[in-house]
Amino acid sequence: MNNRIVDHPILGKIKERKVISFTFDGKKYTGYEGDTIASALLANGIRKLRVHEESGNPRGIYCNIGHCFECRLTVDQEPGVRACLTQLQENMVIESGKRLPAPLKSEGNRDDLPRNYAEFAKKYEESKEDDPRA
Amino acid sequence: MLDVLIIGAGPAGLSAANACREWDLNVLVIDEFPQPGGRLLGQLHQEPNGKWWNGIEETRMLLEKADALGADIRCGLSAFHIEKASHGFSVYTNQGVFDTANLLIATGAAESPVPIPGWTLPGVMSIGAAQVMTNVHRVRVGNRGIIVGVNVLSAAIARELQLAGVEIHSMALPALNIVNEEHGHPRKVMERLVRMAHLAPSAWIRFGSQFAKIDWMRNLAVKFYPKHGVKMWGLPIHIRKAVTEICGKDQVEAVTICDITAEGERIPGTEQTIEVDFVCIAGGLYPLAELAAVIGCPFQYIEELGGHVPVHNEQMETPLEGLYVAGNITGIESAKVARAQGALAGLSIVKRMCRESEDLKQKIHEAKQNVRTIREQVTIQFHPGIHQGRLKMETVFKEVCDQ
């Protein structure tokens, strides 16, 4: 998939540039010298860059100036790299952001960890009831 | 140690660097983006005289001059902290700390977010993001999109997307909610459009001239705004329709749009689904001024300048000795004004570092005049009343310095 704007009525024909290879989530892609990671991925039709760490909702570029941090990716094993401010380099290994475990998030399960004193006290009372020695 | 560190390699920062280099000061310009030019890079619009303003060309000219003068420009550096020191300032970046006698903050502007349901979906981006993708990286942001937010900036960029062959379905307002009152209210949007119609590029004049500038006429215009929108460059602009939701699973698939009253309230039963694969959100610009706040520069809220602005005078000096500001951080204006302000800021720094001569005095006077002249001439003004805003700032600067 190529989303390049090759001809432009005012800016003219796109300049010949060096082709740069990289991988995203293990798949091979190419971009051009001067691309940011964000522009190279978008040119390849890739919009979903990560999922929200807790909810798993899909996210992509938003501001393109490094402020919103929505485009953070793992690049050559460095996490939290902003795709929109990082120049594409030969053989970059880029990985999308994944969902992370949320051990402190309440799922309404009995074995959830307590998140505040009230929950702790309740759990403590429950554990006393559960324990036949008490 | 540096004579001058400039944060931001946009039109203001680059022209300031050139001015400083002409007087042989030791200058370093840093910028977060991988290439210099700032948001000037993406600009592309037709002037009323028919000539095209091409940001890439304008940047190239500034860089050629910087190169000839031997200015040091480094990209990919993020400044995140500044400390006051006996020598001047220490600027902390992701590539070390830089010590400098003078500091110019020329960080420009950022876009105000306009949240509506579904705006976190991939394929939704700020209008400025789409501009850089289209004109700088030459990447198509989608096949068919809609622009949410009607203002001078979004109209200009809509045209740029069209030029690049990207289909824009229409421009409409964001549905009114607690955070986007300014952008979702038809009467307020119309007021701003009409006030700047005479200043904007040619098609805008045609657009604006369909409405009178008198209150009751404007109210009528909002009330009887055509159902199919007003077309500009063949693109329907709606101020009586609002996007209520952006829909899609893994990326944008459609938007829900509905008719709204002149006060921005949704009219039930008018909802419509429009298939699009991208959405641009346009909330307008605000001065990007955090770094000036970090170092303790006083601020003033001035609506005509676009928000909270570091206090400064016409020579681009702040109340902090050795700290200067230029460009959109001082108020939202055209890149041409930013470039002229940069040259003036550079000369103000020269004045502090070198012995004041008649020649320098004359140059500063000319640079000041140049900012004023360009401000009068520019075709795109983002905020009406920029002159009042600038006057207010002059008064505030005097008050702060008298204290």
- Indicate whether A40 and A84 sit together in one domain: yes
Tell me whether residue A12 is in a domain: no
Mutate which of B57, B125, B291 to test chain A, going by most A C-beta atoms within 10 A? Answer: B125
pLDDT of residue B196: 59
Q: With 0-12 CB in 10 A as exposed, 13-18 as middle and 19+ as buried, what is B294?
A: middle
Give which of B228, B198, B195, B2 is closest to B98, Cα–Cα. Answer: B2
pLDDT of residue B213: 57
The string of pLDDT tens digits covering residues B104-155 is 999 999 999 999 999 999 999 999 999 999 999 999 999 999 999 998 889 8
The string of pLDDT tens digits covering residues A73-93 is 999 999 999 999 999 999 999
pLDDT band at B349; cut points 50, 70, 90: very high
Q: Please state, in angstroms and rounded to a whole number, the distance separating the CA atoms of residues B166 and B134.
A: 9
- Indicate whether A67 and A125 sit together in one domain: no
Looking at residue A52, which CATH number applies to its domain?
A: 3.10.20.440
- CB contacts of B123 in chain A (<8 Å) are 47, 60
- Indicate whether A85 and A60 sit together in one domain: yes
Residue B212 or residue A5, greater confidence: A5
The string of pLDDT tens digits covering residues B240-259 is 999 999 999 999 999 999 99
- Indicate whether B105 and B123 sit together in one domain: no
Amino acid (1-letter code) at residue A73: L
- Indicate whether B313 and B251 sit together in one domain: no
- Indicate whether A56 and A86 sit together in one domain: yes
Domain residues for the domain of B123 are 113-281
Domain termination residue (choose one: B281, B307, B332): B281
The string of pLDDT tens digits covering residues B43-86 is 998 887 888 999 999 999 999 999 999 999 999 999 999 999 99
Domain termination residue (choose one: B281, B307, B327): B281
What's the mean pLDDT when you consider all of chain B?
91
- Indicate whether B309 and B336 sit together in one domain: yes
Q: Please state, in angstroms and rounded to a whole number, the distance separating the CA atoms of residues B89 and B32.
A: 19
Residue B379 or residue B150, greater confidence: B150
- Indicate whether B289 and B277 sit together in one domain: no
Q: Which helix (H) or strand (E) holds B130?
A: helix B127-135
Q: Please state, in angstroms and rounded to a whole number, the distance separating the CA atoms of residues B329 and B66.
A: 22
> Is B305's pLDDT higher than 70?
yes
pLDDT band at B334; cut points 50, 70, 90: very high
- Indicate whether A24 and A42 sit together in one domain: yes
Tell me whether residue A6 is in a domain: no
pLDDT of residue A132: 63
Residues 6+ apart with CB under 8 A from B94: B77, B78, B80
Q: Nearest residue on chain B to A4, judged by CA atoms?
A: B139
- CB contacts of B124 in chain A (<8 Å) are 60, 62
Domain residues for the domain of A111 are 105-134
- Indicate whether A78 and A37 sit together in one domain: yes
- Indicate whether A23 and A89 sit together in one domain: yes
Tell me whether residue A100 is in a domain: no
Tell me whether residue A49 is in a domain: yes
- Indicate whether B330 and B273 sit together in one domain: no
pLDDT of residue B45: 87
> Is B203's pLDDT higher than 80?
no
The string of pLDDT tens digits covering residues A84-133 is 999 999 999 999 999 998 877 767 776 777 778 888 888 888 888 877 66
- Indicate whether B363 and B214 sit together in one domain: no
Check CB contact under 8 Å for B125 and A63.
yes
**Contact with chain A for residue B247, Cβ under 8 A:** no
Complete DSSP assignment for A48-95: --EE-TTT--EE---SSSSSS-TTEEEETTEEEEEGGGSB--TTEEEE
- Indicate whether A26 and A83 sit together in one domain: yes
- Per the structure, the count of domains in chain A is 2
**Contact with chain B for residue A63, Cβ under 8 A:** yes
Residues 6+ apart with CB under 8 A from B50: none
The string of pLDDT tens digits covering residues B1-51 is 999 999 999 999 999 999 999 999 999 999 999 999 999 999 998 887 888
- Indicate whether B252 and B364 sit together in one domain: no
- Per the structure, the count of domains in chain B is 2
Q: Note the residue count of chain A.
A: 134
- Indicate whether A89 and A110 sit together in one domain: no
Tell me whether residue A115 is in a domain: yes
> Is A44's pLDDT higher than 50?
yes
pLDDT of residue B379: 66
The string of pLDDT tens digits covering residues B309-328 is 999 999 999 999 999 999 99
Check CB contact under 8 Å for B251 and A58.
yes
pLDDT of residue B199: 47
Residue A126 or residue B278, greater confidence: B278
Looking at residue B137, which CATH number applies to its domain?
A: 3.50.50.60
- CB contacts of A11 in chain B (<8 Å) are 44, 54, 56, 135, 138
- State mean pLDDT over B83-98: 97
Structure tokens at A78: 């460095």
- Indicate whether A63 and A122 sit together in one domain: no
In this prediction the ipTM stands at 0.92
- Indicate whether B130 and B25 sit together in one domain: no
Phi/psi-derived region of residue A94, left when phi > 0, alpha when psi is between -120 and 50, beta in every other case: beta
Alpha carbons within 13 A on the beta-carbon side of B226: 9
- State mean pLDDT over B200-206: 51
Distances (CA, A) of B302 to B3, B249, B287, B310, B330: 31, 41, 11, 10, 10
- Indicate whether B255 and B170 sit together in one domain: yes
The string of pLDDT tens digits covering residues A59-78 is 999 999 999 999 999 999 99
- Indicate whether A58 and A122 sit together in one domain: no
> Is B212's pLDDT higher than 50?
no
Going by DSSP bridges, is the β-strand pair B27-31/B72-75 parallel, antiparallel, or unpaired?
A: parallel
Q: Please state, in angstroms and rounded to a whole number, the distance separating the CA atoms of residues B51 and B53.
A: 7
Domain termination residue (choose one: B227, B255, B281): B281
pLDDT band at B220; cut points 50, 70, 90: confident
- State mean pLDDT over B281-305: 95
Strand ranges, E, within B94-183: 96-105, 109-111, 124-126, 144-148, 167-174
> Is B172's pLDDT higher than 60?
yes
Distances (CA, A) of A107 to A51, A53, A56, A100, A123: 20, 16, 15, 15, 15
- Indicate whether B95 and B145 sit together in one domain: no
Q: Which of A8, A42, A63 sits opposite B141 (nearest CB)?
A: A42
Q: Which of A5, A38, A59 sits opposite B165 (nearest CB)?
A: A5
Q: Which helix (H) or strand (E) holds B132?
A: helix B127-135
Partnered with residue B311 across adjacent β-strands are: none
**Contact with chain B for residue A88, Cβ under 8 A:** no
Other CB atoms within a 10 A radius of the CB of residue B61 amount to 10
pLDDT of residue B400: 93
The lowest-confidence range among A38-42, B164-168, B180-184, B199-203 is B199-203
Tell me whether residue A67 is in a domain: yes
- Indicate whether B132 and B191 sit together in one domain: yes
Going by DSSP bridges, is the β-strand pair A92-95/A72-75 parallel, antiparallel, or unpaired?
A: antiparallel
Q: Please state, in angstroms and rounded to a whole number, the distance separating the CA atoms of residues B318 and B104.
A: 10
pLDDT band at B399; cut points 50, 70, 90: very high
- CB contacts of A39 in chain B (<8 Å) are 133, 137, 139
- Indicate whether A88 and A48 sit together in one domain: yes
- Indicate whether B293 and B377 sit together in one domain: yes
The counts of H helices and E strands in chain A are: 2, 7
Instruction: Identify whether the C-beta of residue B348 lies closer than 8 Å to the C-beta of residue B364.
Output: yes
